[in-house]
């Protein structure tokens, strides 16, 4: 598997045990199979950065593809790992319920492949947990919102099976605006979802009342 890591620096030897603990899937080395997405991630500003290329040999590794599990397990992992200051007791109860009901045993895996939730898309998940949007609206946002798929290396074994292939400079004047446009699109999509609010669809209150639904 060829994967890419966007960064302000070249990363020839990714090290196990580094990275933020409160990323989407916890501590790990985050990459993507989409080189264009990695170029955007490399640009925190218009100064640009680097897209690092790797070959990941997945033979013998346990790989979790969250897309195979459904939306609620993904949301459970997300809320388990992200540092969240809840906006209301309703949101907190919703998050606790989803974690207790749908959290898979993801820590046993070497690699996790799944949706990416940047700050804008994280707003979608919080709106669902607060009862503002339905599960169907959240799913549409995730699948049609172009938030990207990420590959996270979690175990020492996965770091032993990654090989550096090289790095290329990324022009920040080109890709930083693209990154910002993706963020703006997410915000526009969010407000469109709010305009579609109705009593139809499955909301978090319905799921909690029924004791859970199929993920």
| Tens-place pLDDT, residues 75-115 | 999 999 988 888 899 999 999 999 999 999 998 999 999 98
Is 215 among the domain residues?
no
How far is 28 from 106, CA to CA, in rounded Å? 13
**Cα–Cα distance list, 138 to 79, 127, 150, 154, 202 (Å):** 15, 9, 19, 27, 10
- Residue predicted with more confidence, 153 or 18: 153
d(CA 91, CA 103): 17
Answer whether residue 59 is part of any domain: yes
pLDDT score of 212? 66
Q: What is the C-alpha to C-alpha distance for residues 69 and 214, in angstroms, rounded to an integer?
A: 10
Which residue in 94, 86, 77 sits closest to 24, CA to CA? 77
When divided into structural domains, the chain yields a total of: 1
Determine the longest span between alpha carbons in the chain, in angstroms. 52
Question: Is residue 134 classed as helix, strand or coil in its secondary structure?
Answer: coil
Q: Is residue 20 part of a domain?
A: yes
Are 205 and 213 contacting, i.e. CB atoms less than 8 angstroms apart? no
Q: Report yes or no on 126 lying in a domain.
A: yes
Q: How high is the pLDDT of residue 198?
A: 63
Question: What's the DSSP call for residue 88?
Answer: S
Q: Answer whether residue 182 is part of any domain.
A: yes
What integer pLDDT is reported at residue 147 of this predicted model? 66
**Residue 123 domain-assigned (yes or no):** yes
The domain in which residue 118 lies consists of 2-210
In a domain, 27, yes or no: yes
pTM: 0.87
């Amino acid at each position: 598997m060829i994967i890419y890591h966007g960064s302000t620096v070249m990363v020839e030897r990714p090290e196990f045990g580094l990275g933020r603990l409160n990323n989407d899937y916890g501590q790990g080395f985050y990459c993507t199979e989409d080189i264009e997405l990695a170029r955007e991630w490399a640009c925190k500003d218009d100064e640009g950065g680097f897209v690092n290329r790797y070959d990941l040999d997945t033979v013998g590794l346990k790989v979790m593809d969250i897309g195979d599990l459904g939306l609620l397990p993904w949301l459970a992992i997300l809320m388990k790992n992200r540092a969240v200051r809840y906006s209301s007791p309703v949101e907190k109860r919703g998050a606790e319920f989803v974690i207790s009901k749908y959290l898979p045993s993801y820590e046993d895996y070497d690699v996790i492949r799944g949706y990416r939730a940047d700050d804008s898309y994280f707003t979608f998940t919080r709106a669902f947990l607060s009862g503002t949007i339905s599960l169907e609206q959240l799913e549409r946002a995730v699948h049609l919102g172009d938030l990207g798929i990420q590959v996270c290396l979690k175990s020492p074994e996965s770091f032993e099976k990654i090989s550096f292939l090289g790095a290329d400079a990324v022009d920040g004047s080109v890709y930083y605006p693209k990154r910002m446009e993706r963020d703006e699109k997410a915000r526009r999509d969010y407000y469109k979802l709010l305009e579609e609010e109705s009593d139809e669809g499955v909301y978090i209150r319905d799921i909690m009342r029924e004791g859970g639904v199929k993920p």
